Amino acid sequence: MNITELTALLRECAGADEMVDLEGDVLDVPFADLGYDSLAVLQTTGRIERDYAVSLDEEAVAEAETPRAYLEIVNSELSSRTGA
């Protein structure tokens, strides 16, 4: 999963703050600064788990404060699932 896919899912699951440019370099911007709270991240996590048939570590997801950290968790799980 890449940042474009993640931001699209965030928008679908929780909407988007019109004041935040999700098209920019947001990998290291905290979710809170992007207008997403823990519930938004939780909703996105549920969607990823359903769409990709994976189970993400709840503690790790809760500690991921930026899209980069979140993507590392997601991609690690996706890689282990496919054996890549």
Instruction: Give the span between the Cα atoms of 50 and 40, in whole angstroms.
Output: 16
Residue recorded with tokens 């935040």: 20
* DSSP conformational letter for 23: T
59 — pLDDT class (breaks 50, 70, 90): very high
Structural domain boundaries in the chain = 3-14+25-82
Residue 20 burial (CB count, 10 A): 14
Confidence band for 76, pLDDT divided at 50, 70 and 90 = very high
Instruction: Compute the mean pLDDT over every residue in the chain, rounded to the nearest whole number.
Output: 90
Taking only the tens place, the pLDDT of each residue in 4-18 is: 999 999 999 888 766
Q: What is the pLDDT of residue 24?
A: 80
In 3D space, the residue among 70, 82, 63, 59 whose CA is nearest the CA of residue 7 turns out to be: 70
Class (C level, CATH) for 3-14+25-82: mainly alpha
